[in-house]
Amino acid sequence: MPSTSELRPLSGWGRATRSQAAVTRPSGTADVAAALRCAGDRGAVARGLGRAYGDAAQNAGGRVIDMTALAGVRAFDPGSGEITVDAGVSVAGLVRHALPHGWFPAVVPGTRWVTVGGALAADVHGKNHHVEGGFADHTEALELVTPDGEPRHVTRDADPEAWDATIGGMGLTGVITAATLRLTRVTSPVVREELSRAADLDELLARMSRDDRGHRYSVAWVDCATARGRGLLMHGDHAGEPGTPPALAPPGLRAPRWAPGALLGRATVRAFDAVWFHLKPRVRRGDLVPLASFFWPLDGVRGWNRLYGARGLVQYQCVVPHGAEDVLRTILARGRAAGIASTLAVLKRLGPGGAPLSFPLAGWTLALDLPAGARGLAPLLDGFDELVAGAGGRVYLAKDARMRAATLRAMYPALERWRAARAKLDPRGVMRSDLARRLELA
């Protein structure tokens, strides 16, 4: 028998979706297998730290497997930077363990409070996707417990079908219980950051296209409140000369210097954006910034998602291929015209993607945080979907909480291939989530 389960209402990070499930917190791979074997007719899904914005780690009336107790480091080679961890280990945990030895995860998402299992199931990307790919591209192998209860060792080469279905597969092929990652060498706990302003979106896009290759990390923030779409471009590289002995302080997980204000009204958002924008210098070169401030500024504000009030927030993150920049312009213009408050939008360039349900494709990704209760939000976002799908782009499932099944089919052309692979791994359809129900994935 797995550990006992408890009926609990669960939400996504956006706090705009909610359902009840029987939550189990297994302490090892064998417990996970047992929990899957006795999942009821509404199935089961794994849940990490609950950072998916929507309903991906909810399973109404079914079982949810809380993975946070599987948090051990199984093996670590400080010489090669290869680390094998339980899937419930967070990115913060990886950093805590590896940074003192001069290693850092090769890809980190915008929050360090995601588990390794969740990062693989959502195939998360970071600020370096344009040069180094996503989280899974730096993963050697994973351990997957499928609903027949047997742990499988999955690698890209030995079992490409299972690998591709699981990477970005939103937990619907089984439960990832461990993974082997290749870390990247760093010689300091700081990032050399270059900041520069761009007067409008065109300048931002042009400069990103030109300069991205020269930097490991690149991201831009667009001020949605202005018609031109002025922005702030941030480039970063791990500081420290190669070969210098790592002089590492303990991980500098310091709170950042800025925090979003009350995000509730249009006026506050506009004021915040203006103040924030002008507080940043026009150009700043070579400042050394702690890793945490550079990668995870929002982590410094515990529970920032609550700023959106009882109705919660939705994040709209899409990607469009190069050449479809007009879609970005239209989205920003329509959002502004609709008067729906968004703070700064995050703009990044992505490199090519791979797995059928994986989000990245070569192009531009734009992310907007929006209050779920805003009037007219549903038709506005449906309109965005149409533009994005029409341009050959897609919406990120780890963020989505409102897309329709038909739209998903248009955005993910390899969906049927994924379904076929999933059917082999989970023939009885045990792996289920609210997201899967809403989008008719499973």
Helices (H), 287-393: 291-295, 325-338, 377-390
Q: Which is nearer to another protein, 23 or 94 (CB)?
A: 23
Minimum CB separation of residue 407 from another protein in Å reads 11
Minimum CB separation of residue 411 from another protein in Å reads 16
- Residue type present at position 4: T
Tokens 């290693």: give the residue.
103
Q: Which is nearer to another protein, 75 or 405 (CB)?
A: 405
Minimum CB separation of residue 52 from another protein in Å reads 12
- Cβ atoms within 10 Å of 264's Cβ, excluding its own: 14
Minimum CB separation of residue 370 from another protein in Å reads 10
Q: Which is nearer to another protein, 223 or 434 (CB)?
A: 434
Q: Which is nearer to another protein, 86 or 400 (CB)?
A: 400
Q: Measuring CA to CA, how many Å separate 160 from each of 65, 119, 157?
A: 26, 18, 6
Minimum CB separation of residue 373 from another protein in Å reads 7
Tokens 């899904």: give the residue.
45
d(CA 22, CA 11) in angstroms, rounded, equals: 13
Binding site for another protein (CB under 8 A): 7, 9, 12, 14, 16-21, 42, 54-55, 59-62, 311-312, 314, 372-373, 377-378, 381, 401-402, 404, 434, 437-438
Within 13 A of 322's CA, how many CA atoms are on the CB side? Answer: 10
Q: Which is nearer to another protein, 134 or 171 (CB)?
A: 171
Residues β-bridged to residue 232 = 197, 221
Minimum CB separation of residue 274 from another protein in Å reads 29
Q: Find all residues with CB under 8 Å of 313, minimum gap 6, and list them.
A: 14, 15, 16, 53, 263, 305, 369, 370, 371, 372
Tokens 């809380």: give the residue.
66
Minimum CB separation of residue 120 from another protein in Å reads 24
Q: Which is nearer to another protein, 53 or 113 (CB)?
A: 53
- Residue type present at position 407: T
Q: Which is nearer to another protein, 147 or 312 (CB)?
A: 312
Minimum CB separation of residue 249 from another protein in Å reads 40
**Phi, psi (degrees; rounded to nearest 5) at 103:** -125, 150
Q: Find all residues with CB under 8 Å of 113, minimum gap 6, and list them.
A: 49, 51, 90, 91, 92, 299
Q: Which is nearer to another protein, 31 or 55 (CB)?
A: 55
Edge-to-edge strands of the sheet including 18-24?
5-11, 18-24, 63-66, 44-47
